[in-house]
Structure 1
Amino acid sequence: MRSITAEAASLLAGLPRRLGHIVDAPARAQPDHPALIAGDTVWTYGELAAITAEAAAALRQLGVRPGDRLMVVSENGLALAALVLASSALDAWVVVGNPRLSAREIDLIRDHSGARRVLYAVDVSEPARQHAARHGAAITTLGRLGTLGIGPLNAAAVPEPVEADGARQAAALLYTSGTTGNPKGVMLTHRNILFNAAVTQVTRAPTPADQIYGVLPMSHIVGFSIILASSLMAGSTVHLVPRYDPAAFVAAVAAGTVTMLFGVPATYQRLLEHKSVAGLKALPRGRLRMLFVAGAPLDPALKRQVEAALGLPLLNGYGITECAPGISGVRPDAPRQDESVGPIIPGIEVRLVGRDGSPVAPGAVGELHVRGPNVMRGYYRAPEATAAAIDAEGWFNTGDLARLEGDALFIAGRTKELIIRSGFNVYPAEVEAVLNAHPGVVQSAVVGRARDGNEEVVAFVQLLPGACVTVSELMAHASGQLAAYKRPAEIIVLEALPAGATGKILKHRLAEAAQEEAARRGTRKSA
């Protein structure tokens, strides 16, 4: 077995054995300190430890065994957080399903995971109640967890073997669509998640005085690992927010109840849009001290606008579900003015390779591979996909294209999203940055489209409400700043770009739409 780096070993030393143990130390040191807040309800660390134990006992009574998968269909809420920790106490794997997913998507995750039970947080969101009704769940009050839908017991579920080693025992099974739209179950171990929590203590230094605005869903890795697990390990307070409302966030900041915000670019785009539409002269600063962004390419123009509006650096980071998620991040004590995602986090190794598998020249773009305690155990029930992603030496292929300038990492795009136009590489993020710089554009997404043995660039654009911008004007704007082979062959204006629960744009849908539009045009011409 390959030995881990000395830096990683130092971070791993003294970590709790299981994810559910992260509240033990804060519960002893500060039992009356707020751990979780949802609306008007506050759970202290002492209460959270007790409620987690109650939840674990309730799950046992519901037939959940060590090695079982427990699926929880819920927006961010108190019950979900407690069930995540309680699952860990049982050595069950928690599977968080976002209720905003379609019936087909929820059913696919339930069936593929082989969940022993499915619980639904029906008092948090109406979509969860609808899924519960479809599945014949019994609505009941489960102690301090509140009202839940309890799905039928899956008697055919087979528990997975329980590993004593936290590096092997799965804590969570998170489903990711990647670039293809076909969900894969990512097996994240206790060590994967706890290692990232430990890294956060080093790189961001959260304190018990911090209050984190937890709006990114726990069905996705940043909400699960960075917001929930890392914050609780630090003894901080997490405000659990089911859905993002920029007006509500502004009110929370003005009230002085938020010190940190983790978002995706769309989080900040909507905040600036709210400022404009609401006619606010300025956004309140309150006690905000750190702003973080990840999950999608950060447009430099958006970064400048956010920093001007809030008077704080917007700290860019990069991660992937399979790495639980941290890979790199701009440090609070060393903010950057460019689009870099910062230095590599402590304790992991990275390499950049070309298409032939050999290292690329310094400063050149290559495919990013990662190795360390953050790398997943594998894809559930998909050994071939796991073997294709993680080689025999433990290197995980992120599928992302990147380059290094000194210790700063820059993401060029997805390998599968790279557009090759007449032999030239076109990175969608570069074209998107140019389009996003137009004052009438909220956001854009660029995809490739096959055409006559070549690829062409197609851009989808979302405009500011009320903006009177023509496609011709956008074409002219792009043409003045991009080489001919990088310019969009077509720009399509949409009222809103399709996005997932975190706000991440679903590019595979746009690529399909671009191809379908070309096919329709071809049909019309032939007719």
Structure 2
Amino acid sequence: MTDVLFDVMERALRAHPDAVAVSDRDTVLGYGELAEAGRRRAAALRALLPACDRPRVGIRAANSVDYVVTYLALLEAGCVPFLIDRATGPQDTRHIQEDCGLDLLVHEEDAPVPESGVPAGVLGSLRVTRFPAAPDRPALHDETEVCRFTSGSTGRPQCIEFRGHAVHRAAVNWAEGTGLDGDDSIVCLASLSNGLAFNTSLLSAFLVGAQLHLGRGLPTGGSVARLLSRSAATRLVAFPALYESLVKRALSKEALPRLRMAVSSAAPLDPRTKERFEAATGVPLQNYYGIAEAGPLTFATDPLTDPGLGQPLPGVRLRAGTAERPDVVEVLSESMGTRYLNAPGVLEARVGADGFYRSGDRGYLSGGSLVLTGRTSQLVNVGGRKVDAKEVTDVLLGAPHVTDAVVLEAVDRHGATALAAVLTGAPGLDPAGARRHVARHLAPYKVPSLVRVVPEIPRGSSGKPNAAVLRRMFEDGENTP
């Protein structure tokens, strides 16, 4: 195994010892202080680790300085970090632990913990749970240094293995392609477990000596505006929902004097939100393109005139169709994942002999810029998180009185993408009860926000549900009481 990431991080921290490295609402650490905190945390961590090669340690927590310190400590202690979305529900957390053979889980006190785990200690403000050894767990690739997750076609999260070199190149290419430098101050409100934040705001910031300011959850527009002003932010990284909250406030150029770039990804950005944000602040709002398995891929150097999502970043090559005939987007990057640890052969099957990864998107290139026209898969993108409709359907079919269910994407009364469900059932079927049943088993973002109960699911001649008819049921955007 190589130790690319720890070596890179250590060099970056030594290069800027006196500059501010990372902060949250409670803590500020300089680069030298972060290095020292990582060393102390690594020493404490080693006492909790099992006697095995490359211990597998999951992190499921909100953004914080403690999160960054723990991540650094895991690399220094020779562990492989598994970055788990804080919104992951009990069932998915258990699947991850079982499928990947985690040795430890670092988490907040109120996080769902698989029943097989036992308390093992604390690391700063975070708890540690230990799991029994799993002799039959899948073997890691020899060069894997970090693992992240994406929704699986089977309904279980798929674990993407990344070489340290791939993570490093993602950070280097993002910094180079977007002009990130040591004068930048980044406010990051996307979860560090998500590629949007992980690739644009963690290692990339430290490589150039920038400041990283972390927020957690979905703060209010007012609190974000104050954080942007207080931190003298030059860059804002967030999901579309945050920008929708921000444009409802009286933003102004004067209130954000240094902000020069805002970055959004993981879910479609409403063009009206983009227009309102840019009109109020004079700051371009960039909806860049990235794929969990391949890293950050495009960036618009002139977002005000770019026809799509930007041109390929350094180290990236794209193939797509034409405006007249859009086709599947294929990508080749220096930041590609190696494989799915818990789904052998699935990722590899999407990579051609020439190394290009076949995405789930359709589009074309216009003057070198990528324009997307749709999806090739049935995953539903809700607030930046991809939801497997089959997984939610299977859980709904276990709810009291539900006899049939279809889960799909719909538009709510605010014009935003929402997770919807159409149900049939026996007398006494309660839509609210069905939603509570899903909430007991899955993450909150996998609970349908729109529900309809019908006598029979409309289907086409092939027997498949008629998606067009189903979507029309939600045109008023109101939920079933």
Q: Give the TM-score normalised by structure 2.
A: 0.75
C-alpha separation in 2, matches of 1:49 and 1:158: 36
Match of 1:300 in 2: 271
Match of 1:327 in 2: 297
C-alpha separation in 2, matches of 1:54 and 1:373: 33
Aligned residue-pair number: 407
Q: Which residue among 199, 217, 221 is the counterpart of 2:191?
A: 217
Question: Aligned pair in 2 of structure 1 residues 464, 343: CA closer, same or farther (>3 Å)?
Answer: closer
1:495-510 equivalent positions in 2, closer than 5 A: none
Question: Aligned pair in 2 of structure 1 residues 50, 328: CA closer, same or farther (>3 Å)?
Answer: same
Q: Which residue among 31, 35, 38 is the counterpart of 1:52?
A: 38
Question: Aligned pair in 2 of structure 1 residues 241, 66: CA closer, same or farther (>3 Å)?
Answer: farther
Match of 2:4 in 1: 18
Letter in 2 for 1:53: R
Match of 1:37 in 2: 23
Q: Confirm or deny that 1:460 pairs with 2:411.
A: yes
CA deviation string 1:68-125 (max 9, x = no partner):
2111121111222122222223442211223332211211112212111112234xxx
Check conservation: 2:97, 2:114, Cα contact below 8 A.
no
Q: Which residue among 39, 56, 68 is the counterpart of 2:55?
A: 68
Q: Confirm or deny that 1:171 pairs with 2:145.
A: yes
Letter in 1 for 2:76: A
Check conservation: 1:35, 1:45, Cα contact below 8 A.
yes
Q: Which residue among 189, 198, 223 is the counterpart of 1:248?
A: 223
Letter in 2 for 1:289: R
RMSD: 3.5
Consecutive unaligned residues in structure 2, runs of 5 or more:
382-386, 390-407, 417-443, 460-481
C-alpha separation in 2, matches of 1:253 and 1:217: 17
Q: Which residue among 265, 272, 285 is the counterpart of 2:240?
A: 265
Check conservation: 2:307, 2:371, Cα contact below 8 A.
yes
Consecutive unaligned residues in structure 1, runs of 5 or more:
1-15, 353-359, 419-427, 430-444, 448-456, 466-504, 523-527
Match of 2:125 in 1: 147
C-alpha separation in 2, matches of 1:410 and 1:229: 28
Check conservation: 2:290, 2:296, Cα contact below 8 A.
yes
Match of 2:97, SS state, is helix
C-alpha separation in 1, matches of 2:283 and 2:455: 44
Q: Confirm or deny that 1:111 pairs with 2:98.
A: yes
Match of 2:304 in 1: 336
C-alpha separation in 1, matches of 2:31 and 2:409: 51
CA deviation string 1:232-253 (max 9, x = no partner):
1121111121223122111112
Q: Confirm or deny that 1:398 pairs with 2:359.
A: yes
Check conservation: 2:195, 2:292, Cα contact below 8 A.
yes
Q: Which residue among 69, 72, 76 is the counterpart of 1:89?
A: 76
Question: Aligned pair in 2 of structure 1 residues 209, 158: CA closer, same or farther (>3 Å)?
Answer: farther
Quote the offset at 1:148 in angstroms: 2.6
Check conservation: 2:21, 2:31, Cα contact below 8 A.
yes
CA deviation string 1:430-459 (max 9, x = no partner):
xxxxxxxxxxxxxxx9x9xxxxxxxxx974
Structure with the higher fraction of residues in helix conformation: 1
Question: Aligned pair in 2 of structure 1 residues 511, 374: CA closer, same or farther (>3 Å)?
Answer: farther
Letter in 2 for 1:192: A
Quote the offset at 1:511 in angstroms: 11
Quote the offset at 1:162 in angstroms: 7.7
Q: Confirm or deny that 1:137 pairs with 2:119.
A: yes
Q: Which residue among 107, 131, 156 is the counterpart of 2:134?
A: 156
Letter in 2 for 1:461: D
C-alpha separation in 2, matches of 1:107 and 1:252: 36
C-alpha separation in 2, matches of 1:375 and 1:518: 47
Question: Aligned pair in 2 of structure 1 residues 237, 326: CA closer, same or farther (>3 Å)?
Answer: same
C-alpha separation in 1, matches of 2:346 and 2:274: 36
Question: Aligned pair in 2 of structure 1 residues 158, 247: CA closer, same or farther (>3 Å)?
Answer: farther
Match of 2:312, SS state, is coil
Quote the offset at 1:349 in angstroms: 2.0
Check conservation: 2:233, 2:259, Cα contact below 8 A.
yes
CA deviation string 1:33-76 (max 9, x = no partner):
11111213111111111222222233322125443211112111
CA deviation string 1:123-172 (max 9, x = no partner):
xxxx33x64999442453x4xxx233121243335787787xxxx61122
Identity %: 25
Quote the offset at 1:463 in angstroms: 2.5
C-alpha separation in 2, matches of 1:158 and 1:228: 33
Letter in 2 for 1:177: S
C-alpha separation in 1, matches of 2:136 and 2:409: 46
Question: Aligned pair in 2 of structure 1 residues 76, 158: CA closer, same or farther (>3 Å)?
Answer: farther
Q: Confirm or deny that 1:348 pairs with 2:316.
A: yes
C-alpha separation in 1, matches of 2:95 and 2:82: 12
Match of 2:472 in 1: none
C-alpha separation in 1, matches of 2:155 and 2:280: 35
Quote the offset at 1:390 in angstroms: 1.8
C-alpha separation in 1, matches of 2:76 and 2:277: 41
- Comparing 68-77 with 179-188, which one deviates more in the overlay? 179-188
Match of 2:456 in 1: 519
Q: Which residue among 207, 214, 219 is the counterpart of 1:233?
A: 207
Match of 2:258, SS state, is coil
C-alpha separation in 2, matches of 1:56 and 1:103: 28
Quote the offset at 1:513 in angstroms: 5.6
Letter in 1 for 2:265: A
Match of 2:284 in 1: 313
- Comparing 382-391 with 289-298, which one deviates more in the overlay? 382-391
Q: Confirm or deny that 1:100 pairs with 2:87.
A: yes
C-alpha separation in 1, matches of 2:153 and 2:260: 34
C-alpha separation in 2, matches of 1:25 and 1:308: 41
Check conservation: 2:74, 2:80, Cα contact below 8 A.
yes
Q: Give the TM-score normalised by structure 1.
A: 0.69
C-alpha separation in 1, matches of 2:130 and 2:139: 23
Check conservation: 1:69, 1:159, Cα contact below 8 A.
no
Check conservation: 2:144, 2:161, Cα contact below 8 A.
yes
Match of 1:383, SS state, is coil
Quote the offset at 1:520 in angstroms: 5.6
Quote the offset at 1:229 in angstroms: 1.5
Match of 1:115, SS state, is coil
Check conservation: 1:20, 1:89, Cα contact below 8 A.
yes
Match of 1:228, SS state, is helix
C-alpha separation in 1, matches of 2:49 and 2:132: 9
Check conservation: 1:212, 1:236, Cα contact below 8 A.
yes
